[in-house]
Amino acid sequence: MTDPRREKFRTLLGRPGVTLVPGAHDALTARLIEAKGFEAVYMTGGGTAVALTGLPDNGLVTASETVMNARYLADAVSIPLIVDADTGYGNAVNVVRTVRDLDRAGAACIQIEDQVSPKRCGHLPGKEVVGRAEFIGKIRAAADHRPDPALAIMARTDARATRGFEEAVARGNEALAAGADLVFIEALESPEEFAAYARRCPGPLLANMTEFGKTPLIPAREFGQMGYRFVIFPASALRVMLRAASELLDE
């Protein structure tokens, strides 16, 4: 039987307008997000890395740790959970196992990106991406081997920063053709670029509004007008929590 949260995510995916999705690094934050009325939660890879290791998002978190954290979050909420699964933790064969494990953990959508391993935060300099064929092979493997057809696969591309806008467009369109349900275009640098990407890659799209990154903060309504389906705020809650804790400890 399909998890109703996956059916809900599919509804959001097809619904006109944009859905705002805050990020959570732990189950308590996920519960707070649900309690405040949001319709989905994003398990942030960067936040998970910081919470588990105390270190930056540099590819140190393992597949097993990601699955464990996803299970905690999924068990805590009744809204759809989007899981940042980084690069899939290896080649296409590893991606298949990652998808199966996250399926059992309760994910509604699994994100796979095209950075090399070890990866790094998408808004930092020095990142690299794998070849297009390798990336599309991973997305196809994830889509073809998902145990539940209702489980959504999201393809994230970081190619804009290293190989240019046209390559990012090509990867997005090929990922959709390979079975991805939506595309996460990372680190565009202006509203005009986001609008152009939506015209050139006309499938369901997700935008990332992380603070202090390469992307300027853009109002959600503008993304809705461009045709984006989701806007995530992956680290906002974590940053506020850390600031509050720091101020408390200063007292």
pLDDT at 102: 99
Is residue 232 within 8 Å of residue 206, measured between CB atoms? yes
- The reported pTM is 0.96
Residue 108 lies in a domain: yes
Question: CATH no. for residue 70?
Answer: 3.20.20.60
The tens digit of pLDDT for each residue in 139-160 reads 999 999 999 999 999 999 999 9
Check residue 129 and report its DSSP letter.
Answer: B
Residue 5 lies in a domain: no
Residue 7 lies in a domain: no
pLDDT at 206: 99
pLDDT (average), residues 161-171? 97
Beta bridge partners of 43: 24, 83
Residue 169 lies in a domain: no
Residue 192 lies in a domain: no
Residue partners of 75: CB distance under 8 A and separation at least 6: 27, 106
Residue-range definition of the domain harbouring residue 225: 19-161+176-186+203-250
What one-character-per-residue DSSP string does 221-238 give?
Answer: HHHHHHT--EEEETTHHH
Helix/strand/coil for 185: strand
Rounded to the nearest 10°, the torsion over CA 182, 188, 193, 197 is -20
Q: Which two tokens stand for residue 64?
A: 């097993």
The tens digit of pLDDT for each residue in 50-98 reads 999 999 888 889 999 999 999 999 999 999 999 999 999 999 999 999 9
- Average pLDDT over the chain, rounded to an integer: 96
Number of domains in the chain: 1
pLDDT at 124: 63
Residue 35 lies in a domain: yes
Residue 87's CB is within 10 A of a number of other CB atoms, namely: 25
Residue 170 lies in a domain: no
Q: Which two tokens stand for residue 201?
A: 């890659």
Residue 220 lies in a domain: yes
